[in-house]
Structure 1
Amino acid sequence: MNHRQLLNVKAQPTMYVIGDSLSDTGALVSGATALFKHLKMPKIVKMLPPFYNNSFSNGPVAIQIVAEHLGITLTSGWKFEVFGFSDEQIGNNYAFVGALASKINEFGVDSFIYNHFDSYHQVQALVQQHHFHEKDLIFIGIGGNDILRAIKIKDLIEQEKIIDSAIEALNYNIKLLLEKGATNIMVANAPDISIVPLFKNNDTVKTRALALTKRFNSALFTMIDTINNKSKTIVKYDLFTSMHNAMNKFKSLNENHNTIDGAVKTNFNYFIKDGVITTHFNKGVNESNIDEYFFFDDVHPNKWVHNYIAQDIIALIKNK
């Protein structure tokens, strides 16, 4: 029996994750480090505190809490080919910071990196590295970065094309998982992108972000309903509503809780050169009061929010 066959012999069901920064527990660090090696730019990617265990928050991300509740250890996985070289890491969490559901068509550093870890590459790595047990759970939560990318484009029709491409990609990937024997899939829609601190001072962009988020979420759940007419294997998770519920709860706990600003500013300026991702505390924030902020940075929620979402997902798993 070879190494891969050994990995596929499971004593109990496990969990697999397809996603982005809301679920990444180390793929950015290990995957980008491997990618830089093949680009002849050797460097060890590092995420410095207050990042928690190579995740974009100050504590465990929601899917890690869910996995631990189920008695499952998440390890980062990925697979890509570049310049004739193939590289992979076998794991069960393929979520990658910045990953999109669809590919980026424009040429640039971002597209070169993220197009090796989009939903297609994540699903391809998963189905090539593993065979599914009938009770394995696959969690899919991706699409927020497609919305963020669309917002940067001025042309409204082009914005909607990006959203539609993301849905097409997810439709293909989910059907592939079903063809390969997946029987338990949970798909989360996108959180409300319009409420993140990145857009707090731009009402026009916030309005458009909300419209694009709703377009994505409506199309995603409609697509899932269509698939479920035949298979009945996909559970929908309404992350959009859950995030709003979490924000209302967070406000109610303490009148001084901040739900508008990010606690830190994430800095990618040294990522390409040195492989280091750093943060600095925003004005008025420090280690003692960072937990009073709903948002960790301009886009990502803090550990309290992740725990709230995790408990919501755990309850849904129990009910289903």
Structure 2
Amino acid sequence: MVRSKGYNLEHNFGHGETHLSMLKNTSLKTFANAAVTSAALLCVGVHNAYAASFNSISRIYAFGDSYSDNGAALQITTGAVKAGVPGAFIFPRLDVYDSDGRWTNNPGLTSVEVLAKQENLQLTDYAVGGAKSGNGNLSTWLDQYQDTGLFGQIEQYKTEVNRVADSNGLYFIFISTNDLSERFFYNQTGSVDALADAAVNNIASGISQLAAVGAKQFFVVNSTDLAALPLFEQYSQEAAKFRDVINESLPGQLDILNKQLGVEVALYDHVAISNKIRSTPARYGFTNINDACKLLYTTDGLEPGCSTPDNYYYFDEIHPTRRVHQIIGEDMANFLDTQKTTTVPEPSTVVALISCMGMISLLRRKVHSK
């Protein structure tokens, strides 16, 4: 069994007894943060400039991790256990999570499922809990059975469609969190910037791989607010840096792909909706937006947890409750509706957006270097 030092991976994915080690808290400079915030506000006016022009959508094809997994990890790990893969165990735990294998309270839907339901579209979901943005899984033993990373998911899709993609499909990609989780869980070193840049490149590569077989329409989700995750509380500065580098780099990368590949790409801002919920939690029925309803990564996982999970933002230390999935899925649907247009943003507007993001990137990198 592969375990991480300091984190209880098995109480998330199975069973075990390790505990989260205490690390030093870090914080950013208040004044520098204010400068970043001001720059971000200046960019609000051009945020919607990065838009797609989608034609009719036949179906949604989802690729990602546990934020979008609606049962794939359960099915794959069950197969691995039956096949006798060394170290294999079944996850997620059905005594804790949704009975169909979703990483949220039972019964629940993931955001992409809500999106599909709101749009009256069928969903084919390849997302797997623990998946990384390139190859492989956070649970490394699974790699010898199946590549469940983004590239592996895409290869599975390509095989199933005989390498002829549905040109009217909407290809949903939401992944990167486990790249950072792996760093923390396994005490890896190296540049957070480089790790984030690699994740962006992997997402871009995934789009290119799908476009090469005929995919035309993409719905990409940027990094969630990793600095707010209860599990990453002791790593908030690194988590914020990883989030920011991804979210600042993606627009430019997607613009390049749009021009080079002739594809339509819509970029959904996950941090924006998260901030909206956090700024007015009572409006959405939340009484706790900081703590996990049930502790699974940092304890033995046997505690009963809170009695009202739908009043919490987080179900465990990483994953949101079904209520959050519902809200974000509905917001994704509203955003998608704005992309069903023939209006193309003026080049000057796109340049303004990229320039704005560059200004934020410069300021944030100065913050993180302090």
Q: What TM-score, normalized by structure 2, do the two folds share?
A: 0.67
Give distance in 1, aligned partners of 2:160 and 2:328.
Answer: 29
Post-superposition shift, 1:253?
A: 4.7
Query: Does residue 231 of structure 2 align to residue 198 of structure 1?
Result: yes
Give distance in 1, aligned partners of 2:302 and 2:329.
Answer: 25
Aligned match of 2:289? 259
Query: Does residue 116 of structure 2 align to residue 67 of structure 1?
Result: yes
Give distance in 1, aligned partners of 2:299 and 2:287.
Answer: 30
Query: Does residue 151 of structure 2 align to residue 128 of structure 1?
Result: no
Post-superposition shift, 1:258?
A: 0.6
SS across alignment from 1:47:
coil
- Deviation sequence 1:118-164 (CA, Å, 0-9, x none): 0110111111112333321110000011122234546442x333223
> Given that residues 92 and 102 in structure 2 are in contact (C-alpha distance below 8 angstroms), is that contact kept between their aligned partners in structure 1?
no
Aligned match of 2:361? none
Q: What TM-score, normalized by structure 1, do the two folds share?
A: 0.76
Code of the residue aligned with 1:182 in structure 2: it is A
Give distance in 1, aligned partners of 2:299 and 2:85.
Answer: 20
SS across alignment from 1:139:
strand
> Given that residues 147 and 213 in structure 1 are in contact (C-alpha distance below 8 angstroms), is that contact kept between their aligned partners in structure 2?
no
Give distance in 2, aligned partners of 1:173 and 1:29.
Answer: 24
Task: State the Cα RMSD in Å.
Answer: 2.7
Q: Which moved more, 1:230-239 or 1:186-195?
A: 230-239
Aligned match of 2:24? none
- Deviation sequence 1:249-273 (CA, Å, 0-9, x none): 324455x701111001236999xxx
Query: Does residue 220 of structure 2 align to residue 187 of structure 1?
Result: yes
Give distance in 1, aligned partners of 2:212 and 2:251.
Answer: 20
- Deviation sequence 1:161-209 (CA, Å, 0-9, x none): 3223222222222101111111111100010100011133x3xx21121
Code of the residue aligned with 2:174 in structure 1: it is G
Post-superposition shift, 1:57?
A: 0.9
Aligned match of 2:323? 304
Post-superposition shift, 1:214?
A: 0.6
Unaligned runs of 5+ in 2: 1-56, 340-370
Q: CA 1:121 to 1:269, structure 2 compared with 1: closer, same or farther past 3 Å?
A: farther
Larger radius of gyration: 2
> Given that residues 50 and 279 in structure 1 are in contact (C-alpha distance below 8 angstroms), is that contact kept between their aligned partners in structure 2?
no
Query: Does residue 231 of structure 2 align to residue 208 of structure 1?
Result: no
Give distance in 2, aligned partners of 1:219 and 1:93.
Answer: 26
> Given that residues 28 and 97 in structure 1 are in contact (C-alpha distance below 8 angstroms), is that contact kept between their aligned partners in structure 2?
yes
> Given that residues 14 and 72 in structure 1 are in contact (C-alpha distance below 8 angstroms), is that contact kept between their aligned partners in structure 2?
yes
The count of corresponding residues between Structure 1 and Structure 2 is 273
SS across alignment from 1:48:
coil
Code of the residue aligned with 2:93 in structure 1: it is M
Unaligned runs of 5+ in 1: 1-11, 75-91, 271-277
Aligned match of 1:165? 198
Query: Does residue 131 of structure 2 align to residue 99 of structure 1?
Result: yes
- Deviation sequence 1:2-60 (CA, Å, 0-9, x none): xxxxxxxxxx8211000001100001100111223333568765632452231111221
SS across alignment from 2:296:
strand
Give distance in 2, aligned partners of 1:154 and 1:245.
Answer: 33
Q: Which moved more, 1:64-73 or 1:299-308?
A: 64-73
Code of the residue aligned with 1:57 in structure 2: it is T
SS across alignment from 1:18:
strand
Code of the residue aligned with 1:291 in structure 2: it is D
The 5 A counterparts of 1:1-320 are 13-40=58-85, 47-52=93-98, 53-58=100-105, 59-74=108-123, 92-103=124-135, 110-113=139-142, 116-130=147-161, 131-151=164-184, 153=187, 155-157=189-191, 159-200=192-233, 202=234, 205-230=235-260, 231-253=262-284, 257-266=287-296, 280-282=303-305, 285-286=306-307, 289-320=308-339
Q: Which moved more, 1:33-42 or 1:22-31?
A: 33-42
* Greater relative CO (CA pairs within 8 A, separation 6+): 2
Q: Which moved more, 1:36-45 or 1:176-185?
A: 36-45
> Given that residues 263 and 281 in structure 1 are in contact (C-alpha distance below 8 angstroms), is that contact kept between their aligned partners in structure 2?
no
Post-superposition shift, 1:65?
A: 1.1
> Given that residues 167 and 219 in structure 1 are in contact (C-alpha distance below 8 angstroms), is that contact kept between their aligned partners in structure 2?
yes
Structure showing the higher strand proportion among its residues: 1
Q: CA 1:37 to 1:253, structure 2 compared with 1: closer, same or farther past 3 Å?
A: closer
Code of the residue aligned with 1:33 in structure 2: it is T
Code of the residue aligned with 2:198 in structure 1: it is S
